[in-house]
Amino acid sequence: MYLVFSLAMWLLGGTFALLIRTELFSPGMQFVDPLLFNSLTTMHGLIMIFGAIMPAFVGLANWMIPLQIGAPDMALPRVNNFSFWLLPFAFVILLGTLFVPGGAPAGGWTMYPPLALQGGASFPMTIFAIHLMGISSVLGAINVIVTILNMRAPGMPLLRMPLFVWAWLITAYLLIGVMPVLAGAVTMLLTDHYFGTTFFAAAGGGDPVLYQHVFWFFGHPEVYIMILPAFGIVSEIISTFSRKPTFGYESMVYALAAIAFLSFIVWAHHMFTVGMPLAGQLFFMLATMLISIPTGVKIFNWTATMWRGSLSFETPMLFGLAFLFLFSIGGFSGLMLAVVPADFQYHDTYFVVAHFHYVLVAGALFAIQGAVYHWLPKWTGHMYDTRLARWHFWLSAIFVNVLFFPQHFLGLAGMPRRIPDYATQFTDWNRVSSIGAFVYGLSQLLFVWVVWKCVRGGARVENRVWDGARGLEWELSSPPPHHSWERAPSAQMLERAFTP
C-alpha cells in the first residue's frame, strides 16, 4: 500500500514538474500565470518529498525488515495501518488546496514567512496536511525501531544486521528527532496567522529568520532521512552483484551513525545569506565539510566491495552504479555550496536546484528503483522483463543528466530559481533541460509497465533469485508467505544466509 501510494504521488509530482519545464521551455509567459507557477513548484516539492520518496522508503522497510531480521511481521501492525491511512487523507487535503479561493500554497515548500502567511484558504489546509504527514512518519519510525530492537532472530546481534536494516534504524531515530520540530514551526506559523502571535513578525518583536532556523533544523536531517535508506539499499545491491560481502561493514555502520549525528549540526548552511555572524558562517561551513568524510567512507567502501569482485551488470547493479557516480556529483556540488563566499553566488540559483536533484533523483529515486528491481522477483515469484528494465535504466541515466546537468550552468550564469520567466540569454540551456525532462518523465512509464507485467506473471524464480545474494530473505520461498518467519530461523540457517 505504501509503495502503490508512493508510485501514484510520484507520477502526480512528476506531472507538475513537466508543467514547470513546459513553461520554462521559452522565455515569456506561455501556459500558466506566475501564481500558478509558484503553486506548482511548491506542490511539486511537498508531493515528491512527503508523498513519493518518504513513503517509498517506509514501504520498503515494511516489506524487507521482517524478512531480513527473521521476524513474522512488523511489531505494531495496527499502528502501521494507522500511519499509512493518514497519508491519503493528508494528500487529499493538500491537493484540495488547488480548488479553494486564492489557489494552492505558493510560497515554496519551505513556507517561509512572511510570504507563506499571505496564503488564502489554502494556508490552514496545508498546515493540517503537514501535521498528518508528520504524525504518520513518527508512528512509522516507532514501529521500525521496536521491530528491529525486539524482533530480531536469536543469534543476530546488531552488528550482524543487513546494512539496509541499520540504515533504517538510524533513519527512524532521525524522524523522531526532527518531525516534531517541523510541527512546531508550522504551528507557530498558524498562530501568527490566526491568533495574533508574532513569532515571525518583526513589527511585533518576532523574527522571520527564526523560522528559517527552526525549519532547517528539521530540513537538513530530512535530507538524510531521504538518503540513508538509499545507502542501505545500494550496499545490498553492490554486495550481491559483486558476489562479495560489503567491504568494511562496521565502518559503514559507524559512517551511517556519523552522518546522522552531523546532520543535526549543519542546518544553517542553507542560510549563509541571511546576515549570520562570521563565527556562525565558519562553524556551519566546516561542519558541512565534515559530513564529506563519512560519506566518502561509504563511497570508497562500495568501490572496494566491487574491487576484484565477480561483477555482473543486471538492472539493479546498473542503478547501483549510476547512484554511486551521480550521487557523488551531487555531493561535490554540495561541498561547493558549503563554501561561504561561493555560496553567496550560488544561493537561490538553479545551481542549488541542480545540486539537490542530483542527490534526490539520481540518489534517492535511483536507489528506490534499484531496490524494486532487486527485490521484485522475490516479492512476486516472477522475473520481470529484463530487456525493458534495461531500456528504462539507460533512458533514465542519460536523460536525468540532460535534464539537470545544464541547470548547473544556468545557476552559475545567474538564473534565479522559482521564476516563471527569464532573460533570453538563458533560453538554450532551459530548452535542453526541458527536453531532458520530457524524455526522462515519459521513460518512467516503462518502469510502471515493467512492474505491472511482473506482478501479473512471468518466468518463475528460485528462492535465491540472484547468484550472489546473501541474507535471510533469500532463504524463504519466492514469494514469501504473508507471515514470513512463523518460526525464528535456526543458527544453521543464519550461518548459511550470511556465508558468501
Active site residues: 44, 73, 109, 136-137, 220, 222, 224, 235, 269-270, 295, 298, 417
Cell numbers given for 187: 504551528
Cβ contacts of 70 within 8 Å, gap of 6 or more: 151, 152, 153, 156, 472, 485, 488, 489, 494
CB 252 within 8 A of CB 234: no
Contact 271, 213 (CB under 8 A): yes
DSSP label at residue 212: H
Comparing C-alpha atoms, which of 360, 250, 227, 230 is closest to residue 297? 250
**3-class secondary-structure state, position 326:** helix
**Which SS3 state, helix, strand or coil, does residue 186 take?**
helix
Nearest Cα residue to 212 out of 181, 173, 174 = 181
Question: How far apart are alpha carbons 49 and 119 in whole angstroms?
Answer: 21
Helices 34-46 and 2-23 pack at an angle, to 10 degrees, of: 150
Q: Sign of dihedral through CA atoms 39, 41, 42, 47?
A: positive
Determine the longest span between alpha carbons in the chain, in angstroms: 70
C-alpha grid cell, residue 438: 520530457
Cα gap 328→340, rounded to integer Å: 21
Q: Which residues, including other chains, have CB under 8 Å from residue 82's CB and lie 6 or more apart? A: 139
- Strand, coil or helix: 211: helix
Whether the Cβ atoms of residue 384 and residue 435 lie closer than 8 Å to each other: no
Q: Do residues 434 and 22 touch, judged by C-beta distance below 8 A?
A: yes
Per-residue CA distances from 84 to 149, 269, 372 (Å) = 22, 33, 20
